[in-house]
Structure 1
Amino acid sequence: MSEPFSGLPPYEGREYRCVPAGRDEAAEVADILRRTSMQGWVRTVFAPGPDAARDPFRREQLTVCIRQRSGKGVCVAVYALHRFLVQYAGRGQEAVYLGLLRVLPEYRGSRGIFRDGFAAIPHFVRHLGWPERYFTSIAVDNLPARRLLEAGLRSLPRYTPLGELHTLIFSCALGRGSHLLTRADAAQWPEVVAFYNRMMRDVPYAPVLGEAFLREGTGLAVEDFHILRREGRVAGCLALWDRRTSRRILVEGYRPPLHALRPAVNLWARLCGRPSLPAPGHALEMGYAAFLAVEPEFHSLAGGMLREALFLARRHYGLRGLLLGLAPHGSLWPVLSRLPHTAYTTCIEHVAWPHGEAVPASCVPVQPEIALL
């Protein structure tokens, strides 16, 4: 079977050549992901899981290698463009998420990488016929990246913050089997899709569910969705998504003084029912509580739904915790943020080139699905 982007022409920049990654580049992509960490109090790196060989090459995700034009043409950076169908301006529209930007440490001072790498994005998007509507996320405490990207430099696109998104990390020790949830099946799937899309219709950048999503090769199945039923109808849903087979997250290290305080923090976490901090070099045995939606009149049951999801995640998947993305001003925040958790915050940003689409005025609160980012 041919690769989906095999005919896409590369972009020739002044100093760097941007090339669509195929299977021949998979080893280079994996190497850069292992060698570059996401900065913050906890430094993490991506490592490929057993199914990762097909994950970067789905038809909805283009991975790009940035190569030197001189010398041996070494790959010094990568990024990914992922096309989503999202809720936008009150209806489903396509948008492109800019993610996975990783630059080898010894090349981070090169402005040419950013200039040529960003210039290649409209080139690829136009050749693919994708929409020129872009968004991304940056860790709030990744100050070097935010200072660079939000500075309004002429050689870079405009980054405009739209709102914050909190990733809440819950320990499976909080799990409690309550029989609130039932597992979805193929016959119930249309009802689940209709319910989720209706509940998230006015939440900017929330994904639009549909049959096509399950065919993308994400590893997510109908049976991973769990339903809250009340009064004979779907009143809530969530998916337990274990993505460790395609992408594993390893802890590279901790920022001082957290690295020295980790044993004390873990003792406190066990006493309080919060997730512990793995030793450097170990994986986060975490999954996602994805596609969560609850009817307003049943918001009081959301905490019980999450506790049961934690119970099922530990029992059926062997997970130690679940990650859940919530907008701080969203309707479920007051209920679920009361449960013991650890959190980190990202800023969702609108990205635009000159003469590009204007910043949407209604994008507060924004809530893309973190399991997809």
Structure 2
Amino acid sequence: MSRYQFELSCPKDDQDLRVLFAATPMDGNVRVRLEHDPAVHRQHASDDHLHQTIVCRDTLSGRVIGAGSRQINLRYVNGQLRPVGYLGGLRCLPEHRSRGLVARGYAFLKELHQDQRADFYLTTIAADNASAERVLTSGRAGLPVYRPIGRFHTLLCCSHNRRRHPSNDSVEIRTAESNDLPAIARLVQHSGPDRQFFPAYGADDFQDSNGTFHGLSLESILVARRGGQLVGLLAGWNQSSFRRAVIAGYNSLWKWLRPAWNAWASIRQRPRLPGIDEALVYLTAACPLVINSDPAIFVGLLDAAIDQQLPDQRTSLTLGLADNDPLLGVARSRRWREYVTNIFLVSWPDTQPDLPTLDHRPIYLELGCL
């Protein structure tokens, strides 16, 4: 019998998963560990949205030493709704890492894929994580096919990067009210077919405590109206109650530079670099949608979110856009840091249907749901 066993997680694994998240930070000049509450995904599952956490258990200790997630929902692909999965959260304690363990994990995932809930999968890999990309895209040992389709940019935006643009007197930007919800639902439904992989959101995703945007208050949603018509939407989603990014360490250069950076940041009103075990302070931009990708409307929404929703200079607004999204150039004028991941379509060559050929529509991924 193998020492390692793969299975779906259950509530008794939650504490082990929290330990795993804390022990597996993302490497780089600044090491960050992503912590979230495993119970949240069970609470917010539905018939239209499947979320499974796969765990790898060391049978000698009984502890969880690795994990990954599989989530499935309806998304627009070339303008048509299809069931598409997302693979994420791949973690393993360093002392247990091996190519054989990765292959066995994907073999278990392939067994799950036999339920035919998803046509294929999306995933992202950090652009600077060459070793992980090399292993996962090798196609060896039964691993699935990874087809690159673009890049996803996570921008940290803050007030110091504001560049004044001429105001658009014909557009009103304000906090959403309850009577805006039907128009918000129509804008979201109208926008979906124009973007690749846009989820099939419904009104419950915004209003229901178990919806996709759980914890997102109406006061956190900004709307843009022109001539009585809703033409833009942007929300600042505070996820700190169930998801955090915590500083795990700095390399030697940034450990030395951090005090000087923070002194300079205080003068220039830029976000400071937190200490070890301190959480980054940020809101996550949700539903960055503008009719016809109008840059003037989008920059108005972005500036309003920065002005009205960020409580102080320590807080950033994180915004995720694909490299073929026409709004990316506008958003970059407000960023102070940028993090890039590569986007892949994933499938096994002996399963159906085949991976799609994508048309010109921009890729859309909801940053707060990855």
Give, in whole Å, the separation in 2 of the partners of 1:76 and 1:348: 26
| Cα drift, residue 290 of structure 1 | 1.2
Which residue pairs with 1:164 in the alignment?
Answer: 151
Give, in whole Å, the separation in 1 of the partners of 2:153 and 2:39: 29
1:233-252, aligned counterparts within 5 Å?
A: 233-252=229-248
CA contact (8 A) 1:15 1:116 kept: no
Residue by residue, what CA displacement relative to the aligned partner does 1:72-101 show, whole Å, maximum 9, x if unpaired? Answer: 433210111112332212123221111111
1:369 aligns with 2:358: no
Residue by residue, what CA displacement relative to the aligned partner does 1:319-351 show, whole Å, maximum 9, x if unpaired? Answer: 711100112332112222122421010111111
Give, in whole Å, the separation in 2 of the partners of 1:54 and 1:99: 16
Which residue pairs with 1:32 in the alignment?
Answer: 20
Q: Structure 1's 53 and 143: CA in aligned 2 closer, same or farther, altered over 3 A?
A: closer
Over aligned residue pairs, what C-alpha RMSD do you find? 2.8
Instruction: Determine which of 43, 57, 79 is the counterpart of 1:90.
Output: 79
Quick check: 29-38 or 253-262, which moved more? 253-262
1:56 aligns with 2:41: yes
CA contact (8 A) 1:220 1:241 kept: yes
Residue by residue, what CA displacement relative to the aligned partner does 1:214-247 show, whole Å, maximum 9, x if unpaired? Answer: 4435323444322100111001001110000011
Residue by residue, what CA displacement relative to the aligned partner does 1:134-185 show, whole Å, maximum 9, x if unpaired? Answer: 1111110011111111222133112221100110101255679x99422323
1:1-373, aligned counterparts within 5 Å?
A: 16-48=4-36, 52=37, 54-57=39-42, 58-59=44-45, 60-68=50-58, 70-108=59-97, 110-127=98-115, 130-172=117-159, 180-214=172-206, 215=208, 216-217=210-211, 218-267=214-263, 269=265, 274-296=270-292, 298-315=294-311, 320-356=315-351, 357-362=353-358, 365-373=362-370
SS in 2 for 1:187: helix
SS in 2 for 1:83: strand
CA contact (8 A) 2:155 2:335 kept: no
Residue by residue, what CA displacement relative to the aligned partner does 1:250-304 show, whole Å, maximum 9, x if unpaired? Answer: 0112345333323344455556654332222110111111111112374213222
Match of 1:61, as an amino acid?
A: H
Give, in whole Å, the separation in 2 of the partners of 1:361 and 1:297: 24
Quick check: 141-150 or 181-190, which moved more? 181-190
Q: Structure 1's 24 and 185: CA in aligned 2 closer, same or farther, altered over 3 A?
A: same
SS in 1 for 2:190: helix
SS in 2 for 1:188: helix
Give, in whole Å, the separation in 1 of the partners of 2:41 and 2:313: 25
Which residue pairs with 1:5 in the alignment?
Answer: none
* Unpaired runs of at least 5, structure 1: 1-12
Give, in whole Å, the separation in 1 of the partners of 2:277 and 2:283: 18
CA contact (8 A) 1:182 1:228 kept: yes
Aligned pairs, number: 354
Q: Structure 1's 287 and 158: CA in aligned 2 closer, same or farther, altered over 3 A?
A: same
Quick check: 27-36 or 326-335, which moved more? 326-335
Q: Structure 1's 263 and 235: CA in aligned 2 closer, same or farther, altered over 3 A?
A: same
Give, in whole Å, the separation in 1 of the partners of 2:223 and 2:314: 20
| Cα drift, residue 66 of structure 1 | 0.8
Match of 2:152, as an amino acid?
A: L
Match of 2:39, as an amino acid?
A: R
CA contact (8 A) 2:293 2:326 kept: no
What is the TM-score normalised by the length of structure 2?
A: 0.86
Q: Structure 1's 226 and 163: CA in aligned 2 closer, same or farther, altered over 3 A?
A: same
Match of 2:330, as an amino acid?
A: V
CA contact (8 A) 1:169 1:342 kept: yes
Give, in whole Å, the separation in 2 of the partners of 1:157 and 1:242: 35
Give, in whole Å, the separation in 2 of the partners of 1:135 and 1:38: 20
Match of 1:371, as an amino acid?
A: G
What is the TM-score normalised by the length of structure 1?
A: 0.85
CA contact (8 A) 1:273 1:340 kept: no
Q: Could you tell me the percent identity over the aligned residues?
A: 29
Give, in whole Å, the separation in 2 of the partners of 1:206 and 1:297: 15
